Amino acid sequence: MDLASSIGNVISEIRVQWQPKQIFISALIAIVICCLGPTAALASPAQATFAGGCFWCMEHPFDELPGVTDTTSGYMGGTVEFPSYRQVSSGSTGHAEVVKVDYDTDLVSYETLLDTFWRNVDPLDGQGQFCDKGSQYRSIVFYHDDSQRQLAEDSKQAIDGLFEQPIATEILSAEAFYPAEDYHQNYYQTHPARYRLYRYGCGRDQRLAELWGPQSE
């Protein structure tokens, strides 16, 4: 038997001996994937959507939370598809300015997002938020599933006990989300001076301090 044939036989024997191990490992991997499937689903990224007046001012508080992976300013709750800022700001489309929050459920809870939302809005104002008035600036929790709806309703009830006036914030089912124009995104980072001037001029921080106590922005 020549050298090439000998090597071929050895390789064949190795393949025969290794095949059961390959089958075992493949089966083991399949079992592990099957068992981890539900857990992986629970840990998948989630979304939350909040309307709290000017969306410029709602991105920053959520961006500060560990576990929030992205925030996007946009529009929700109206009757016009792909609305522009000009259309929404006119109050004629029914949309509200919102911030969509993408977050990791393993790192931050929806309850924490709700707490952050409440402490950055005036829940008593049914006409808008701070200096911005109109339906496009109303405060809303848009829930994406029954769990979010129940948690939002529970948190609203808890907030209601803190004030003598009724809570004006609505809790509505999430609808189509339309991202705002690029120049609105991360405005607090791209135009920090204008952003802070707007917040101060709108009386946002002053009113939040009255409602919730001093807080850093």
Q: Which residues belong to the active site? A: 54
* 3-class DSSP assignment, residue 129: strand
Residue in the block written with tokens 């129940």: 150
Question: DSSP for 22-73?
Answer: HHHHHHHHHHHHHHHHHHHHHTS-EEEEEEESSTHHHHHHHHTSTTEEEEEE
Burial 116-129 (b: 16+ CB within 10 A, else e): bbbebbbbbbeebb
Token representation of residue 143: 């829930």
Question: Whose CA is closest to 95, among 145, 49, 150, 47?
Answer: 49
Longest dimension (CA), the chain: 98
Nearest-angstrom CA–CA distance, 180 and 30: 43
